[in-house]
Amino acid sequence: MKHSLLSFLFILFALQTWAEDRKIKIDSEIKGVVVYLNGAEINRVSKFQLPAGRSDIQISGLSTQIKPKSIQALLSGDARILSISNEKNFLNPHQNRKKVQVLKDSLTLLKDQIEMLTTEIDDIDDERDMIISNRSRVGEKGGVTVAELQSASAFFKKRLKEISKEKFELGKQVRELTKSKVRISKQLKTDNTLKDKPTNIVTIKVDNPKSQMIDLEFSYVVSEAGWAPRYNVRAEGVDQPIQFEYMAKVFNNTAIDWKGVELILSTGDPFKSLTVPKLQAWTLNYRSQYQYKKRRAQSQGYLSQQTLSSNNSNQTSAQLNDFGMGSNEVDVSEISVDFVIKDKYSIPSDNKPYLVEVNSYELNASYKYYAIPKLECDAFLMANVTNWENVNIIDSYANIYYNGKYVGESYISTATANDTLAFSLGRDSKINITRVKKQDFNKKKWIGLNRSEYFEYEIAIRNTYNTPIEIEVVDQVPVSQESDIEVDVKEISGADHHPKSGRLEWKLKIEPKTTQKLITSFSVKYPKNKKVHIRKKRRVNAKYF
């Protein structure tokens, strides 16, 4: 009876084993990566022999950043996919890269060297203690001659000096090795991102009518990857087009290195749903324009590069990591754009940004100068670029070069750009500008219960070039916000006057080697028992003593 029961259990176990689908473990390689602004789609391929019947194809060593609903697979031939699943594998964690192993080996070697030198220092200290102890006992039993005593004293002195020197040299070596150890430890802390991280296993259950060679293509979306645009804007002269170099910074923190892969940079959404979208009403109002201005108010104004960067509130408020990377909302085209990268790239999984060349464009541009002498007595050369929409620009920073010289960094935003996109190419020292207050005309006088003050300013622009220039000059007159404060504009030298803002604009063409002067004068009348701050001041950082 007992023997029959054992036979039954054996047969039952065999039937269960036979009924289970066979597991086939295969290797795969990354063929291409579609990198989105936030996330990436990994495309893998594999070729293997698939037996007839049902099988579980297992692909291990994958990133744990996989979004399960994004996994897609395609088999060649007439094999059918029944299901796809994934699970974490804590038994076979990610292997560290060779660079990390080299750092670990170097760190171990340094520790051994420091320990060996420390032991030598301890031995020297023991010898020193022994010499000092024996020196005090010389002559205790008598019978030692003066010559012998002098010889012993000289030996002790010489040896102690040698010991001190040896200890100093060994201590110096320990300090240098310790510095190297600290540096390697810091680098190892940065690069050793894969330590003890689990891997992911994707299982594809298939039904195959016959044994055949199978080509497998499968893809999935991962987080902790992305790209950000970066531009180089080059101008070689006011009669030359703009050379616009479209670059990208790509980062990978998926725990899997991308080695020699085909890259596509996309502005699409990797986490898009399979549900049919709903078309919302297309409304027009001023609120969206206000929001754009609030986020990028200064981006297309005629300002210096320093101003463009420092006033960008969204960028400065972003939380950045050790490599200057953070997250930020940007405006992109309603239709997603894909940039196919010509060359293959390797992007390690170390969360560091790697520069990728996207494309280069030649853009038509018109040039003119712009100046606000009240703020800065410099002329800024502006390039106004047309047909910029075809470049698919995303809001980001740009390095500006003029005549082969690095000018500075600017922030490009398309939120407030219309038909043209403006770049500041920096200050031009050959355009001399001054703005002075005419003291002879500035005066105060009292009229009854009111006080009246008169102001006059002179702006002088000199063109030292041998060719004419076009320049737009901006100044202002005060605007009253009180009923009993009256502003009377006297002279504006033909400027376009915007009464609500007080802005004055001149669009001038100045001939070579000539100077043009602009006069601005106005009077302000207000009650003499009140104080009005007419003269505006600016604040700067300064030392105090």
**What's the pLDDT at 461?**
96
Instruction: Tell whether 271 is covered by a domain.
Output: no
Please, are residues 92 and 60 in contact by the beta-carbon 8 Å criterion? yes
Claim to verify: residue 59 and residue 102 sit in the same structural domain: no
> What would the two tokens of residue 295 be?
């986020």
Claim to verify: residue 413 and residue 293 sit in the same structural domain: yes
**What's the pLDDT at 301?**
34
- Please compute, for residue 289, the number of CA atoms within 13 A of its CA located in the half-sphere on the CB side: 7
**What's the pLDDT at 107?**
80
Please, are residues 108 and 177 in contact by the beta-carbon 8 Å criterion? no
Phi and psi of 535, rounded to 5°? Answer: -80, 110
86 vs 419: CA distance, rounded Å = 50
Please, are residues 493 and 518 in contact by the beta-carbon 8 Å criterion? yes
41 vs 63: CA distance, rounded Å = 12
Kindly list the distances between the CA atom of residue 73 and the CA atoms of 80, 392, 504, in Å, as whole numbers in the listed order: 11, 32, 65
Claim to verify: residue 133 and residue 240 sit in the same structural domain: no
Claim to verify: residue 437 and residue 497 sit in the same structural domain: yes
Kindly list the distances between the CA atom of residue 172 and the CA atoms of 110, 137, 346, in Å, as whole numbers in the listed order: 14, 33, 41
Claim to verify: residue 383 and residue 361 sit in the same structural domain: yes
> What would the two tokens of residue 366 be?
């018109």
Nearest to 212 by CA among 76, 82, 81, 83: 76
**What's the pLDDT at 15?**
44
Last residue of a domain, one of 408, 428, 448: 428
**What's the pLDDT at 43?**
95
Claim to verify: residue 103 and residue 127 sit in the same structural domain: yes
Instruction: Tell whether 544 is covered by a domain.
Output: no
Instruction: Tell whether 543 is covered by a domain.
Output: no
Domains held by the chain: number: 4
Claim to verify: residue 119 and residue 151 sit in the same structural domain: yes
Please, are residues 217 and 44 in contact by the beta-carbon 8 Å criterion? yes
Name residues of the chain where pLDDT drops below 70.
1-21, 89-100, 135-150, 190-197, 273-275, 283-334, 416-417, 439-448, 536
Our CA angle for 415, 421, 425, nearest 5°, is 120
Q: Which residues 6+ apart lie within 8 Å of 324 measured at CB? A: 353
Instruction: Quickly tell me which residue has 């063929």 as its tokens.
Output: 31
Beta-strand pair 225-235/396-402: parallel
Instruction: Tell whether 533 is covered by a domain.
Output: no
> What would the two tokens of residue 432 be?
């001399």
Beta-strand pair 450-463/396-402: unpaired
For residue 13, which amino acid is it?
Answer: F
Instruction: Quickly tell me which residue has 């018109």 as its tokens.
Output: 366
Claim to verify: residue 90 and residue 103 sit in the same structural domain: no
Claim to verify: residue 364 and residue 449 sit in the same structural domain: no
Instruction: Tell whether 261 is covered by a domain.
Output: no
510 vs 118: CA distance, rounded Å = 77
Domain span holding position 318: 227-251+285-322+348-428
Instruction: Tell whether 274 is covered by a domain.
Output: no
Other beta carbons within 10 angstroms of residue 382's beta carbon come to 20
**What's the pLDDT at 248?**
94
Claim to verify: residue 119 and residue 176 sit in the same structural domain: yes
Q: Which residues 6+ apart lie within 8 Å of 234 measured at CB? A: 242, 243, 244, 245, 401, 402
pLDDT digits (tens, 9 = 90+) for 277-310: 777 777 665 554 444 444 433 333 333 333 333 3
Last residue of a domain, one of 428, 445, 470: 428
Claim to verify: residue 157 and residue 211 sit in the same structural domain: no
526 vs 529: CA distance, rounded Å = 9
* CATH number (domain holding residue 513): 2.60.40
**What's the pLDDT at 312?**
37
Claim to verify: residue 436 and residue 517 sit in the same structural domain: yes
Q: Which residues 6+ apart lie within 8 Å of 513 measured at CB? A: 463, 464, 465, 466
Instruction: Tell whether 270 is covered by a domain.
Output: no
Nearest to 461 by CA among 424, 496, 511: 511
Instruction: Tell whether 328 is covered by a domain.
Output: no
